[in-house]
Amino acid sequence: MATSYAGGCACGAIRFETGEQPIFQNHCQCLDCQNRSGTGHSSYLTFLRRSDMMITGEASEWRVTADSGHDKLHAFCPTCGAPVYLTFTAMPDLIAVHATALDDPGQFNPQALTYSMRGHPWDLIDPAVQRFERMAG
């Protein structure tokens, strides 16, 4: 039986859903994720085709240049401010949703920690999760 991934922002104005499986699930400790989350990392599920993700509601976007030098577009709710998903200018078909935006965050199963070189000793990540100093390649 296929698993559905559904979620949205804190107030419910933006919703997403897909029956596709994520191609990558990671924690990220890059400076952008730290600044935006207000803590040591953010956690994502990345899906291969944005076109397979049903999104309802109007998100606001914030463009950020990542450590890689490529731009990311962070989508968030203009009402509650909750981050919901992000897209990548270098790979426009991909979409990554925030693990905490899932209706069931327990669906998140991290495969890697990216940008571990930016991590802080107080941001403890399961040591069994594979670590990459930068983006996994």
The answer to whether residue 50 sits within a structural domain is yes
Mean of the pLDDT values across residues 19-32?
94
CA dihedral sign of residues 108, 111, 117, 119: positive
* CATH number of the domain where residue 89 is located: 3.90.1590.10
Structurally, the chain folds into a number of domains equal to: 1
Q: Give this prediction's pTM.
A: 0.91
The answer to whether residue 5 sits within a structural domain is no
Residue pLDDT, tens place only, 74-107? 999 999 999 999 999 999 999 999 999 999 999 9
Structural domain for 126, as ranges: 20-131
The answer to whether residue 15 sits within a structural domain is no
Residue of 51, 39, 41 whose CA lies nearest to 117: 41
